[in-house]
Chain A
């Protein structure tokens, strides 16, 4: 006779998670629970809740890498318990960072001698990279002004209104004034002439973007350089340039090698690039490279002298994981020049496929340029019946996340949808997206007609108090929405 035993409350291991009481009791949200729970239950509960997150690979809003090879995943997991900052304990990992810095510096044509080491550092992303570069400029400018006996309390930085939010963060946190060059309809990047006009003696640098967040366009850094050289000659202020190549830094060298935007231009003193965008690494790695040692004031560098080795560092973060640095090195040696070029060319071709598919529908204006980051930014030719925001909403039903947003001043009346083509966005997906967009347009086209037909059946308009038609309500809602969104910096994407 078999005695059946039931698992009692105090049993440590629960045989079937879904048969246990753990999936019935409510999760602690604001307080830590008194008791522990078995690890299988914890895993299952969290994993289940995370199913409701978006699918990273269908997120067409983000530039950040969402797929890496399994071999790299293995290396990432093996490095996950290494605290990157323990340079003495993990000398190879530190060496890998140094190699990456040097490779990227060479990619950007930094003027380095035969055995000269590049000046640069790995960061947690372009935000930290930009803050470090900005700090270096601010300190250099302050030192220069102090030496000249002039006031150094009102530094400013000149950029386009299309900059990503981290520039605004830098300005606000480090007490630098942000002077933005306004955009205009049809010209959605920083105008070099206007930028140079805005430069004054308090300008610590002019920041140009290679790969604008809004429409992927490359700013004309060469022209900016030439105009600024002329102005510097007249004024003697020696205003430098910083290039925010967060997206473009890993694209331009491979498919536009003749485009002069990097250290080949003499006024460019530092460049930042996101390893986690077209560097093809998961989120959490960026790089900033300086032209030479003179561009990084020594007083900002900390010398960690621990167990003998002197390792100079200049970062905001201290402890962090090593996985992304190892992954970046993996990509650099695995792909090499030809690998990156093949991937970028594939992205560009898929971009063309998507662009042509959208043009064929004859419902959209393409706002992005052909030369630039592989993305397609488009707006509706006719947005009187429904707006881009509604198209974006409807696409969610198919699983696609395609963001819609208004341009910054002075082009606030333009709304665009933007699709970013990453490495893992294949041609088949591009064709499917076009197909789904056509379905969405069809649904939206037929929608108002159905509602207004209903209203017409419900009595004469003259007697009843005039109700707002569906279209007018929609228009009001979207105008209110637009106003609300315009009021703040809306570019939360990177």
Chain B
């Protein structure tokens, strides 16, 4: 006779749960805002969180982001092994620190930094381009302040000149470090910073001019050579020595491989620092950026902290202190694994796939391509029909297929233009591009089928109350005769959501 034993609820409460979904943990409400009294088994915790995360978007179908979403399994292995290493313990993890130094040197060489006798590049790994830009900006601000103090002039109103197409982190830098942001407005058809206008805006309080290699909005490279030449002329006249910073967050790992003749980096004498995101076309997961300075003179010594711990002097200049080591090791892995030819192959593939997408979109006849063929591998396109709502509707429709394709309006003065943008990353293969095109075509035909909505126009007259008793104080009298029915071409009324001041572009 077989005795079967059933585990009672009391017995199973504190011990091992055999099947998570048979336990009460998936039935009890999760503590949301308070720490719960009791612990729960780790299997249950894992399953609960894993299940809730199923509702997040799929990172690889997120065509809004430049940030890498796939790496080789070998690299994943390295990242897991390094996940418990605190990067800042330089003395304990000297090899990891050495990898950072090697990456800095490799990138500095890629950007043609002038090599001095020590052959040591000046740069640092950061958590992303935001931190990198803040460090570069800080260096410019301090240099400018020192220069003005030496000249006996006031130094309380620094400003920085950039295009209105800059990413939100420049505005953050300006706001948090008390620097004025002077933006060169865009115009229809010209969506990057105009070098001529930028140089005009430079004054004695300008700490630097920020140029972008790979604009967030349409992937275009700004003409940094022209900016350099014009600024050099102005500097000769004024003697202000205004330098340039290149925000190569996206373009820094594209231009050297696809457009090696394009002069945008330290080959131009006024470029003093460059930042690049390792987690964009550097092909590493989110959480790594790099900033490189031209030479030691461009980084004021007073900003550098010397961590002298257990003997070794390691100079550091970062905002963050403790952080994981995984991304730095991953970046080194990519440099070692791919080499120059590997990166070039990946970028060429991306451009090819971008071309396929672009040609497919042009074939539908509904779109105008806003991005240029030279630039970041992305396709920015707008509807030929000036109806602003169409882009947002298409973006929404594509979500049903699983794709995340963002739509947004341009910054001033091109706010009437609405574009959609697809970023082609390493892992967006040709098959996926062709699938995307077919989904776009289906979505377009769905947009056509919208039923006609009658449009009602109201006109109202405000007139004083004729006599007391004619309604309450301040009533709005709408005369019946002004209600007008018109059968017009079907149009959907789209309400503009005004955005409260400041930068709204949340993409990187």
Which A residues lie at the B interface, using CB under 8 A? 27-37, 39-40, 42-43, 45-47, 49-50, 52-54, 56-57, 59, 61-62, 64-69, 71-93, 96, 99, 102-103, 106-107, 118, 124-128, 131, 135, 153, 165-166, 168-169, 172-175, 274, 276, 282-284, 299-300, 302-308, 311, 316-322, 324, 326, 329-330, 332-340, 392, 401, 403-405, 484-485, 488-494
Cβ-based interface call for B209 (8 A): no
Do A34 and B341 have beta carbons less than 8 Å apart?
A: yes
Question: Do residues B127 and A317 form an inter-chain contact, with CB atoms below 8 A?
Answer: yes
What residue in chain A is nearest B42 (Cβ atoms)? Answer: A71
Which segment, of B267-275, B354-362, B375-383, B496-504, faces chain A? B496-504
Known: A28-B336, A56-B86, A333-B30. 5 other contacts (CB 8 A): A32-B106, A36-B342, A274-B322, A283-B322, A490-B309
Chain B minimum-CB-distance residue to A65: B84
Tell me the smallest distance from the CB of B43 to a CB of chain A, in Å: 7
A92 adjacent to B52 (CB under 8 Å): yes
Complex CA–CA separation, A88 to B33 (angstroms): 21
CB-based contact A50/B82 at 8 Å:
yes
User: Which residues of chain B have C-beta atoms less than 8 A from A86's C-beta?
Assistant: 57, 62, 64-65, 67, 506
- B131 with A336: CB separation less than 8 A: no
Q: Which residues of A contact B406 (CB under 8 A)?
A: 306-307
A203 to chain B, nearest CB (A): 19
Kindly list chain B residues whose C-beta atoms are within 8 Å of the C-beta of A59: 89, 92
- A316 CA / B322 CA spacing, docked (Å): 15
Q: Which of A61, A92, A165, A333 contacts B36 (CB 8 A)?
A: A333
Q: Please name the residue on chain A nearest to B173 by beta carbon.
A: A316
Do A33 and B321 have beta carbons less than 8 Å apart? no
Contacts of A124 in B (CB 8 A): 127, 320, 323
Sample of 23 A–B contacts (CB below 8 Å): A27-B336, A30-B105, A49-B95, A53-B85, A53-B96, A54-B92, A64-B86, A79-B53, A80-B285, A81-B60, A81-B285, A128-B319, A165-B305, A174-B176, A282-B83, A283-B87, A303-B502, A306-B406, A317-B130, A319-B287, A338-B37, A490-B308, A494-B321
Partner of B333, one of A43, A81, A339: A43
| B92 with A318: CB separation less than 8 A | no
**Among A29, A57, A282, which residue has the most Cβ atoms of chain B within 10 A?**
A282
**Known contacts being A62-B86, A62-B89, is A29 close to B105, with CB within 8 Å?**
yes
Q: Is the CB of A319 within 8 A of B323?
A: no
Chain A, residue nearest B68 (CB): A81
Q: Which chain B residues border A330 with CB–CB below 8 Å?
A: 45-46, 49
Q: A45 touching B341 by the CB < 8 A rule?
A: no
Which residues 422-462 of B have a CB within 8 angstroms of A?
Answer: none
Alpha-carbon distance A489/B307, docked complex (angstroms): 7
Q: In chain B, residues 1-54, which have Cβ atoms closer than 8 Å to a Cβ of chain A?
A: 30-40, 42-43, 45-46, 48-50, 52-53
Chain A residues contacting B99 (CB-CB under 8 Å) are 46
Tell me which residues from 106 to 135 in chain B have a Cβ below 8 Å from any Cβ of chain A.
Answer: 106, 109-110, 119, 121, 127-131, 134
- Do B336 and A321 have beta carbons less than 8 Å apart? no
The answer to whether the Cβ of B69 comes within 8 Å of any Cβ in the partner chain is yes
> Taking the complex as formed, is B76 at the interface, i.e. its CB lies under 8 A from any CB of chain A?
yes
Query: Is B49 a contact of A326 with CB atoms below 8 Å?
Result: yes
B31 near A103: Cβ-Cβ < 8 Å? yes
A89 to B72, CA, bound (A): 23
B414 sits at the interface (CB 8 A): no
The answer to whether A318 touches B322 (Cβ under 8 A) is no
Partner of A90, one of B36, B56, B322: B56
B76 & A77 in contact (Cβ 8 Å cutoff): yes
What is the 8 Å Cβ interface bit string for chain B, positions 157-196, against chain A (1 contact, 0 not)?
Answer: 0000000000011011001111000000000000000000
Assess A302 versus B333: contact at CB under 8 Å? Given A30-B102, A73-B83: no
Are the CB atoms of A317 and B320 closer together than 8 Å? yes
Q: Which of B64, B286, B324, B408 meets A82, CB within 8 Å?
A: B286
Q: B322 contacts which chain A residues (CB < 8 A)?
A: 64, 125-127, 274, 276, 283-284, 494
Contact A306 B408 (CB under 8 A): yes
- B483 interface contact, C-beta 8 A: no
CB-based contact B37/A336 at 8 Å: yes
Q: Is the CB of B336 within 8 A of A316?
A: no
Q: How far is the CA of A65 from the CA of B322 in the complex (A)?
A: 11
* B residues in contact with A493, CB < 8 Å: 89, 309
- Whether the Cβ atoms of B78 and A403 lie closer than 8 Å is no
C-alpha spacing A355/B406, complex, angstroms: 59
Cβ-defined contact, B508 with A318, below 8 A = yes
Q: Chain B residues near A66 (CB, 8 Å)?
A: 84
Q: Please tell me if B302 contacts chain A, counting CB pairs below 8 Å.
A: yes
CB-CB < 8 A to B78: which residues of A?
A: 43, 46-47, 50
CB distance from B103 to the nearest CB of A (A): 10
Q: Could you tell me if A106 and B286 are in contact, using CB atoms closer than 8 angstroms? A: no
Contact B503 A302 (CB under 8 A): yes
| Contact of A336 (CB < 8 Å), options: B36, B172, B503 | B36
| B242 lies within 8 A of chain A by Cβ | no
Cβ-defined contact, B127 with A53, below 8 A: no
Contact in complex: B307, A103 (CB < 8 Å) = no
Nearest CB of chain A from residue B148's CB, rounded to whole Å: 14
